[in-house]
C-alpha cells in the first residue's frame, strides 16, 4: 500500500489516474454545525473514500455523532440545527437549497447506535424503503429484493422462516443486522453507522464487523466508534476528533488507520489511541 496524503484533497479526485488514492465519495469542506447558538462542530475538512471504511473516533461529546448525522442531513430533524460549509456527495453539495433531503438519505443510508427496527414484521421492515421508491413493485419482486437485502446482511438464514414476526422480537444483534438490511435494501451508495455495535455483545459485534468488511466492496462506509480495537480492525481511514475548550468538536487528525494507530502526527491522538486518556 502506498502512502496516502495526510492533507485533505480540495477537489474530488474521483476517477483519478492514481490507483493508490481511492476516489472521494463524500467531501466535507469547512463544515460547522450549530444547535441554536451552540457550535457543535467547527470547520471540519475531511474526505470519505469510496469502497473504504472510514472510522470516526474521539472522546465523548467531541461531535462524532453530529458529524456523521451531517452526512445524510439527519440533523435537519433537530430543531434549530444549522450547517455551514459544504458537504459534497459525488461533487454535489447535499445542503444546496434545491436538494431533497429524502433523496440524500436514500443515497446515504444510516444505521443507528441502538437497533431501531419498526414495530412491524421483519419483511415490512426491509420492504418499506424499497416500496417507498417503487410503489408499483410486484409482490414477488419485493420479496426477492427483501431476500437479497437480508442475505446481504447475513440475516436471511436466521429469519427466512419467520418473516412475518415482529422485527422487535429478534435479539439485539439480529435487530441491528435487520437495520443494516433495511438500510442496504434501498441500495444506498454510502452507509453511515453510528456506533452500530455499542449495544451488542462481543459475538454480535464480531458478526457486524465481518459484515462491514464484506459490505465495503459495494458500499462506502463511515462508522463512529468508541472502540479503538474495532476502529483498528475494520477501518481503512480514521478521523480523530477532539473537543475544543469552547466545547465545539474539531477534527484534529485524519489519516490511514495504521498510521493513526502506529504513528500519529498529533500527540493527543497518540494519547487517545494508546488509552492514556479519553
Partner 1 sequence: MARSITEPTPQDFSAVELRGDASVRRRQVIARTGRGVLFFSLVLGLVALLTLFLNVFDKLGGYAVYAFKIDPLTITPSRPLEELSREELLALIEKHVPEDAKALIPEEYGAPLEELSNEDLVNILYNDTPSPETLTAKPLEALTREELIEVLQRNVTGTRFEQLQAERPLEQRTREELIELVEVEVLQRSVVWQWTLFESIFNRDAILAEIASRYPGSDYEFKWWLTPRFIASDQTTRPETTGLRPALLGSLLVVILSILFAVPIGVAAGIYLEEFAGKSRLGAIIQTNIYNLAGVPSIIYGMLGLAVFARALRDFTTGAAFGVPNPPPNGRTIITASLTMALLILPLIIVNTQEAIRAVPQALRDAALAVGATKWETVWHHVLPVAAPGILTGTILATARALGETAPLIVVGAAAYVTMDPQGIFSSYTVLPIQIYTWTKLPEQIFTRVASAAVVVLLVTVLAINLTAIILRNRLRKQI
Residues of this chain that interact with partner 1 (CB under 8 A) are 72, 74, 77, 79-80, 102-103, 105-106, 109-110, 112, 114, 116-120, 128-129, 132-133, 168, 179, 182-183, 185-186
Shortest spacing between CB 79 and partner 1, in angstroms: 5
**In sequence order, what are the beta bridge partners of 221?**
53, 191
d(CA 202, CA 204): 6
Closest by alpha carbon to 215, among 233, 197, 189, 241? 189
Q: Which residue has the cell 429469519?
A: 159
Shortest spacing between CB 75 and partner 1, in angstroms: 11
If the CB atoms of residues 13 and 113 are measured against partner 1, the closer one turns out to be 113
If the CB atoms of residues 196 and 264 are measured against partner 1, the closer one turns out to be 196
Shortest spacing between CB 146 and partner 1, in angstroms: 13
If the CB atoms of residues 3 and 98 are measured against partner 1, the closer one turns out to be 98
Handedness of CA 142, 120, 196, 105 (dihedral sign): positive
If the CB atoms of residues 19 and 77 are measured against partner 1, the closer one turns out to be 77
Shortest spacing between CB 265 and partner 1, in angstroms: 29
**Other CB atoms within 10 A of residue 216 CB:** 18
If the CB atoms of residues 159 and 180 are measured against partner 1, the closer one turns out to be 180
Non-local (6+) Cβ contacts of 254 within 8 A are 6, 8, 46, 47, 237, 238, 239, 240
**Other CB atoms within 10 A of residue 133 CB:** 12
Q: What SS3 class is residue 231?
A: helix
d(CA 208, CA 214): 10
Shortest spacing between CB 129 and partner 1, in angstroms: 3
Shortest spacing between CB 39 and partner 1, in angstroms: 19
Joined together, the cell numbers standing for residue 55 give 472510522
Joined together, the cell numbers standing for residue 225 give 466508534
d(CA 71, CA 68): 5
Shortest spacing between CB 236 and partner 1, in angstroms: 23
Amino acid at each position: 500500500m502506498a502512502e496516502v496524503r495526510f492533507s485533505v484533497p480540495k477537489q474530488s479526485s474521483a476517477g483519478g489516474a492514481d490507483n493508490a488514492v481511492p476516489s472521494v465519495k463524500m467531501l466535507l469542506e469547512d463544515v460547522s454545525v450549530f444547535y441554536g447558538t451552540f457550535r457543535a462542530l467547527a470547520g471540519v475538512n475531511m474526505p470519505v473514500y469510496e469502497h473504504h471504511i472510514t472510522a470516526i473516533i474521539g472522546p465523548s461529546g467531541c461531535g462524532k455523532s453530529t458529524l456523521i448525522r451531517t452526512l445524510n442531513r439527519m440533523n435537519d430533524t433537530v430543531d434549530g440545527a444549522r450547517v455551514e460549509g459544504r458537504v459534497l456527495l459525488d461533487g454535489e453539495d447535499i445542503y444546496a437549497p434545491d436538494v431533497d433531503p429524502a433523496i440524500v438519505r436514500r443515497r446515504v443510508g444510516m444505521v443507528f447506535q441502538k437497533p431501531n427496527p419498526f414495530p412491524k414484521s421483519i419483511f415490512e421492515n426491509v420492504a418499506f424503503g424499497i416500496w417507498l421508491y417503487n410503489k408499483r413493485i410486484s409482490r414477488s419482486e419485493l420479496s426477492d429484493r427483501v431476500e437479497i437485502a437480508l442475505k446481504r446482511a447475513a440475516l436471511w438464514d436466521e429469519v427466512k422462516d419467520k418473516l412475518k414476526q415482529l422485527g422487535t422480537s429478534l435479539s439485539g444483534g439480529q435487530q441491528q443486522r435487520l437495520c443494516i438490511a433495511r438500510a442496504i435494501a434501498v441500495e444506498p451508495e454510502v452507509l453511515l453507522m453510528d456506533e452500530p455495535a455499542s449495544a451488542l455483545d462481543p459475538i454480535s459485534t464480531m458478526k457486524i464487523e465481518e459484515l462491514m468488511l464484506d459490505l465495503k466492496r459495494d458500499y462506502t462506509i463511515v462508522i463512529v466508534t468508541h472502540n479503538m480495537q474495532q476502529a483498528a480492525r475494520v477501518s481503512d481511514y480514521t478521523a480523530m476528533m477532539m473537543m475544543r475548550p469552547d466545547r465545539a468538536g474539531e477534527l484534529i487528525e485524519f489519516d490511514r488507520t495504521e498510521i493513526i494507530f502506529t504513528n500519529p502526527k498529533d500527540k493527543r491522538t497518540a494519547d487517545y489511541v494508546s488509552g492514556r486518556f479519553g
